[in-house]
């Protein structure tokens, strides 16, 4: 079997799919604006939004083209095997070498990311990142990615050595626990990039605490993150497992939104907790890691794959990147359609919770403000929503809340 030809075909299919998504994003600016969000942008602001969308997505096309060319060269010219040949001939060093090169390939699109962040995002008033912060973030992300990928590849090598081609189930268990640990340590990782300060006593803290306590949730801490260090866009999220939660607010949210609007956002997030959406997401994640583990078991059982790409034996680092970039990338769009549909359903239910808590109008006001301040798409193509959106469109969310409550809120 010609694995190299099959790889080229798959990479081309993935590349075309990414271009289709970008085309749909660009075309969305030409769609008719739904009546319930027609007040979001005035004529001048909408023209600015369209210009921003086109610039950003056209840069995305360039990035996709460069990534495709780089991937073709790396696989067709056996670059990973050649680079690994520069390192000591041990299982760990060989897999580390491939993971190192895999992470270093991000340097190819670094100028594009820099231009996107510093020029396009800056041009439209979103970027607050300095050059120093941008490159510091990239260095930190590189180190974290290299460690994570190396650990995964190393564990794969140990399990295959111990269990042979029957290691898939054990590898699935490892991945499930590993990614659960990453989620648990997420607050630690965020502190590598940002500073956090406790929210002062006052109306907002009292309302947020009361909202969670009403449904049996306890607040470990309410913190403000210096999101304005990098962007003008507002955000907020929960962290923590079970009933004990930490609330994190971007300073851009605290400074620009009313206490009721912020509470509306968290009444929505509370809905996710009430409906156990995190547990449902974990089930979907386990299905995903099971697919990845099955692909890993299949890949390492076929040494001819590695021979095709210049290796004299199994390289577990190459196995991981081949699974992620080729095998799973072909499956992922179909799986993503399913998971996005589940996610959109969960978002509708969480919105309903905010409305039932009496924050329906405030949630709509917050969503409109968040969308406007980030130049969100208000008329995405239906196909784009199905293929890529894990949240319903703003118009769909407003219509669903109004239908649930039987009155106009927007």
Total-model pTM:
0.86
Question: What residues make up the domain containing 87?
Answer: 3-135+301-405
Domain assignment of residue 311, yes or no: yes
Please, what is the angle between helix 277-300 and helix 168-184, to 10°?
A: 140
- Asked if residue 94 belongs to a domain, the reply is yes
Q: Where are the beta strands (DSSP E) in 347-404?
A: none
Q: Using CA atoms, how far apart are residues 285 and 337, in angstroms rounded to an integer?
A: 14
Rounded mean pLDDT, 7-12: 96
Place of tokens 């897999």: 95
Residue 253 located in a structural domain: no
Predicted confidence (pLDDT) at residue 186 exceeds the cutoff of 80: no
Q: Picking from 84-98, 119-133, 371-385, which range would have the lowest pLDDT averaged per residue?
A: 119-133
Q: Tell me the C-alpha distance between 103 and 292, whole Å.
A: 20
Average pLDDT over every residue of 388-400: 94
Separation of alpha carbons 306 and 249, rounded Å: 47
Give residue 292's pLDDT band: very low, low, confident or very high (50, 70, 90): very high
Query: What span, in angstroms and rounded, lies between the C-alpha atoms of 9 and 48?
Result: 38
Single out the residue of 391, 408, 390 nearest to residue 399, CA to CA.
Answer: 408
Distances (CA, A) of 174 to 26, 32, 171, 177, 242: 40, 48, 5, 5, 22
Greatest Cα pair distance, the chain, in angstroms, is: 70
pLDDT in tens, 64-95: 999 999 999 999 999 999 999 999 999 999 99
Per-residue confidence at 271, pLDDT binned at 50, 70, 90?
confident
Q: Is residue 270 part of a domain?
A: no
Torsion from C-alpha of 384, 385, 386, 389, nearest 10 degrees: 110
Q: What is the mean pLDDT of residues 375-382?
A: 91
What 3-state class would DSSP assign to 149?
A: helix
Strand stretches in 4-70, DSSP E: none
Number of domains in the chain: 1
Q: Is 353 within a domain?
A: yes
Question: What number of other Cβ atoms are within 10 A of residue 29's Cβ?
Answer: 19
171 lies in a domain? no
- Measured over the CA atoms of residue 15, residue 106, residue 343 and residue 227, the dihedral's sign is negative
The pLDDT value recorded for residue 204 is 86
Least confident of 247-251, 333-337, 381-385: 247-251
* Average pLDDT rounded to a whole number, residues 369-382: 89
Q: What's the rounded Cα separation, in Å, for the pair 270 and 268?
A: 5
Measured between alpha carbons, how far is 109 from 97 in angstroms, rounded to an integer? 20
Length of the chain (residues): 410
Q: How far apart are CA 261 and CA 267, in angstroms?
A: 10
User: CA 248, CA 252: separation in Å to the nearest integer?
Assistant: 12
Average of per-residue pLDDT across 103-132 = 89
pLDDT in tens, 58-70: 999 999 999 999 9
For every residue of 305-347, DSSP letters joined together read: HHHHTT-SS--HHHHHHHIIIIIHHHHHHHHHHHHHHHHHHHH
Q: What is the pLDDT of residue 240?
A: 62
Q: Which residues contact 62 (CB under 8 A, 6 or more apart)?
A: 112
Nearest-angstrom CA–CA distance, 231 and 236:
13
Q: Is residue 213 part of a domain?
A: no
Q: Which of 38-42, 72-76, 220-224, 252-256 has the highest mean pLDDT?
A: 72-76
pLDDT at 245 over 70: no
Write the CB contacts of 339 (distance below 8 Å, at least 6 apart in sequence): 284, 390
Nearest to 366 by CA among 212, 200, 249: 249
Give the model's pLDDT for residue 200.
85
Cα(354)–Cα(275) distance, rounded to whole angstroms?
Answer: 13
- Closest CA relative to residue 396, chosen from 341, 339, 334: 341
Q: Check: CB of residue 336 under 8 Å from CB of residue 284.
A: no
What local confidence, expressed as pLDDT, does residue 211 receive? 84
Could you tell me which of 372, 358, 264, 385 has the C-alpha nearest to residue 37?
372
Per-residue pLDDT reduced to its tens digit, 189-200: 777 778 888 888
3-state secondary structure labels for all residues of 133-147: HHHHHHHHHHHHHHH
Q: Does the pLDDT value for residue 241 go beyond 70?
A: no
Better pLDDT: 240 or 195: 195
Higher-confidence residue: 179 or 83?
83
* Residue recorded with tokens 């997505």: 57
Q: How far apart are the first and last CA of the chain?
A: 59
Q: How many CB atoms lie within 10 A of CB 264?
A: 26
49: nearest Cα among 366, 378, 393 = 378
């Amino acid at each position: 079997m010609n694995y190299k030809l099959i790889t080229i075909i798959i990479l081309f299919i993935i590349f075309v799919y990414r271009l289709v998504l970008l085309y749909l994003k660009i075309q969305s600016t030409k769609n008719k604006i739904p009546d319930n969000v027609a007040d979001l942008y005035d004529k001048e602001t909408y023209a600015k939004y369209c210009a921003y969308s086109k610039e950003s997505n056209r840069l995305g096309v360039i990035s996709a083209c460069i990534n495709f060319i780089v991937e073709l060269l790396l696989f067709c010219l056996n670059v990973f095997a050649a680079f690994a040949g520069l390192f000591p001939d041990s299982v760990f060093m060989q897999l580390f070498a491939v993971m190192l090169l895999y992470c270093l390939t991000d340097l190819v699109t670094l100028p594009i990311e820099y231009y996107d962040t510093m020029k396009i995002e800056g041009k439209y008033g979103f970027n607050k990142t300095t050059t120093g912060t941008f490159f510091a973030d990239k260095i930190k992300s590189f180190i974290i990615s290299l460690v994570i990928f190396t650990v995964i590849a190393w564990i794969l090598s140990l399990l295959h050595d111990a269990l042979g081609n029957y290691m898939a189930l054990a590898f699935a268990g490892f991945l499930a626990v590993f990614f659960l640990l990453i989620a648990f340590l997420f607050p630690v990782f965020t502190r590598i990039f940002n500073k956090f300060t406790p929210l002062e006593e006052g109306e907002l803290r009292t309302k947020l605490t009361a909202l969670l306590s009403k449904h049996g949730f306890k607040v470990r801490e309410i913190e403000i993150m210096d999101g304005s260090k990098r962007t003008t866009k507002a955000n907020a999220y929960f962290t923590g497992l079970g009933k004990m939660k930490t609330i994190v607010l971007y300073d851009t949210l605290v400074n620009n939104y009313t206490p009721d609007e912020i509470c509306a956002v968290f009444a929505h997030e509370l809905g996710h907790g009430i409906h156990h959406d995190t547990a449902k997401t974990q089930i979907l994640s386990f299905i995903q890691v099971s697919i990845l583990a099955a692909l890993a078991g299949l890949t390492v059982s076929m040494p001819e794959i590695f021979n095709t790409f210049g290796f004299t034996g199994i390289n577990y680092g190459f196995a991981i990147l081949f699974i992620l970039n080729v095998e799973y990338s072909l499956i992922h769009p179909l799986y993503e359609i399913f998971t996005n549909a589940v996610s959109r359903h969960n978002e509708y239910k969480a919105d309903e919770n905010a409305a039932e808590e009496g924050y329906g109008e405030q949630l709509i006001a917050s969503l409109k403000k968040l969308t406007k301040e980030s130049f969100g798409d208000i008329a995405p193509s239906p196909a784009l929503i199905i293929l890529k959106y894990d949240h319903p469109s703003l118009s769909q969310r407003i219509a669903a809340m109004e239908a649930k409550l039987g009155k106009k809120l927007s």
